[in-house]
């Protein structure tokens, strides 16, 4: 009630909701010439192509199932973000730019948008080829009489992606929460009603449904617990004051909250994005090549299927890798030890400067192991949940839960901060 009674906060909430309505409207504008029944069959035939399309559909916020102008979703933008995050530690100019505060981050954001455009073009054409192989569409070619319709479809999908990225930036600037995450969140939540009939109308028994609900409830509780878990490193500040011509030194105590999941849901999204590439390339090339290349393409398409055990083993390993990578890239940009020393702060028993940096790094490594293994477990949860319950509609449910819970918690914290700035009590207890 406090949030709705405050005009500025209410305006942010209404604006965020309005942008989500625009997103869902765009997600239902199909590309011309789409056969809805063939498209539906392509997603439900339980083949390798349909599994890949289901994975891509998550990042599109459900728009790929409609083959709308927003069918790519924000996936090209996520891929571009991965590329820029990897390049920042490797290119000195980008590393220096990342340390220039808000102006540097805005510049990197602009570079990310530039990279997202060619990524959207390539991925748009590849998705059309995959849909054609799945029997959902036909006539995709860059030569002959079908060249112009194909080019128009690719340009429409690329424009839709950049439009969603723009909506996400507007939400971040004028609304509540991280815009891109809110867009993905909206797509996942919109797809939940269509999943429920598949679960309850199936031949599952009461025990399987009860086990499924128990797994989901336990996963949500675990995600909330790990999202909020933190290690508080004690810090003291020495301040010098002058009273009556005499100098006094005062001690102030506080702490640095090092979060166990400081990388959030990003490593899981990164891992699935990377794992999409082999199957993506295989499904794209399998109809375009012959001989030895066709054999390699078929191996990539089947070997990296979301139904295979090696797929989830690689997902787990990539989640571990990206968790440490993203955590320490973010940690390096914060310069905690240097900033503490400049502000006269120190960790009791630890010398300022490099020893402080080494101590914080050791603590961060220990708590990141716990967060990395937890994220890995959430990432592979669909395989075990499907094996235990027999529900095939659980593809990427772990990632979906992580995104939904993470976005909800982040949005609630931002709302809490907005209310506290305006002297309201807030709603987080």
CA–CA distance, 352 with 345 (Å, rounded to integer)? 8
Burial of 237 (0-12, 13-18, 19+ CB in 10 A): middle
Confidence of residue 117 (pLDDT cuts 50, 70, 90): very high
Check pLDDT > 60 for residue 394. no
Judged by average pLDDT, the poorest of 114-123, 195-204, 360-369, 398-407 is: 195-204
CA–CA distance, 292 with 248 (Å, rounded to integer)? 79
Name the average pLDDT for the chain: 76
Judged by average pLDDT, the poorest of 111-125, 161-175, 193-207, 222-236 is: 193-207
Angle of helix 101-133 relative to helix 48-59, nearest 10 degrees? 150
Quick: pLDDT tens for 57-83. 666 666 777 788 888 888 788 888 878
Confidence of residue 345 (pLDDT cuts 50, 70, 90): confident
CA–CA distance, 128 with 140 (Å, rounded to integer)? 7
Q: What is the pLDDT at residue 62?
A: 66
Check pLDDT > 80 for residue 341. no
3-state secondary structure of 142: coil
Classify domain 1-199 by CATH number: 1.10.3370.10
Please give the C-alpha separations between residue 78 and each of 113, 133, 178, 179, 369, in angstroms, as whole numbers: 10, 25, 13, 13, 24
Check pLDDT > 60 for residue 291. yes
Q: What is the pLDDT at residue 236?
A: 79
Q: In what order do the strands lie in the sheet with 345-346?
A: 246-259, 230-243, 345-346
Angle at 30 between CA 391 and CA 168, to 5 degrees: 80
Judged by average pLDDT, the poorest of 211-215, 236-240, 265-269 is: 236-240
Q: Spell out the residues 6+ positions from residue 385 whose beta carbon is closer than 8 angstroms to its own.
A: 212, 215, 391, 394, 397, 398
Check pLDDT > 80 for residue 171. yes
Quick: pLDDT tens for 89-116. 778 887 788 777 778 778 888 888 899 9
DSSP 100: S
Which CATH architecture fits 202-395?
Orthogonal Bundle (1.10)
Query: Same topology for domains 1-199 and 202-395, yes or no?
Result: yes
Q: What is the mean pLDDT of residues 112-127?
A: 88
Q: What is the pLDDT at residue 49?
A: 58
Q: What is the pLDDT at residue 163?
A: 92
Q: What is the pLDDT at residue 175?
A: 81
Q: What is the pLDDT at residue 301?
A: 62
Q: Sketch the domain layout of the chain as residue ranges.
A: 1-199, 202-395
CA–CA distance, 234 with 253 (Å, rounded to integer)? 7
Answer with the residue of higher pLDDT: 278 or 121.
Answer: 121
CA–CA distance, 342 with 222 (Å, rounded to integer)? 38
Q: What is the mean pLDDT of residues 42-67?
A: 65
């Amino acid at each position: 009630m406090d949030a709705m009674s405050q005009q500025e906060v209410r305006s942010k909430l209404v604006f965020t909701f309005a942008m989500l309505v625009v997103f869902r409207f765009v997600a239902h504008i199909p590309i011309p010439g789409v056969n809805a029944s063939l498209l539906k069959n392509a997603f439900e035939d339980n083949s390798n192509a349909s599994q890949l399309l289901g994975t891509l559909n998550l990042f599109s916020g459900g728009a790929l199932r409609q083959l709308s102008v927003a069918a790519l979703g924000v996936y090209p933008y996520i891929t571009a973000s991965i590329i820029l995050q990897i390049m920042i530690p490797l290119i000195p100019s980008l590393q220096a730019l990342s340390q220039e505060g808000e102006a540097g981050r805005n510049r990197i954001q602009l570079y990310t948008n530039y990279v997202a455009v060619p990524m959207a073009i390539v991925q748009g054409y590849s998705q059309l080829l995959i849909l054609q192989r799945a029997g959902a569409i036909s006539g995709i070619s860059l030569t002959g009489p079908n060249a112009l319709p194909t080019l128009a479809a690719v340009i429409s999908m690329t424009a839709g992606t950049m439009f969603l990225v723009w909506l996400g930036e507007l939400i971040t600037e004028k609304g509540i929460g991280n815009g891109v995450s809110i867009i993905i969140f909206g797509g996942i939540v919109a797809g939940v009603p269509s999943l429920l009939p598949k679960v309850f109308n199936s031949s599952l028994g009461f025990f399987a449904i009860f086990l499924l609900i128990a797994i989901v409830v336990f996963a949500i509780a675990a995600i909330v617990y790990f999202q909020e878990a933190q290690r508080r490193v004690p810090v003291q500040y020495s301040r010098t004051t002058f009273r009556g011509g005499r100098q006094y030194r005062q001690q102030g105590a506080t702490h640095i909250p090092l979060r166990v999941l400081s990388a959030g849901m990003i490593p899981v999204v990164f891992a699935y994005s990377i794992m999409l590439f082999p199957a993506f390339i295989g499904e794209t090339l399998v109809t375009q090549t012959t001989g030895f290349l066709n054999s390699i393409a078929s191996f990539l398409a089947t070997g990296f299927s979301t139904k295979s055990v090696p797929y989830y083993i690689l997902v787990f390993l990539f989640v571990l890798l990206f968790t440490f990578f993203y955590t320490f890239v973010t940690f390096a940009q914060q310069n905690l030890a240097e900033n503490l020393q400049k502000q006269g702060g120190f960790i009791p028993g630890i010398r300022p400067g490099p020893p402080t940096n080494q101590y914080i790094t050791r603590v961060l490594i220990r708590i990141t192991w716990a967060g990395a293994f937890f994220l890995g477990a959430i990432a592979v949860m669909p395989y075990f949940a499907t094996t235990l319950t027999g529900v095939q509609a659980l593809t990427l449910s772990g990632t979906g839960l992580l995104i939904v819970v993470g976005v909800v918690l982040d949005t609630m914290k931002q709302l809490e901060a907005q209310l506290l700035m305006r002297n309201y009590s807030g709603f987080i207890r």
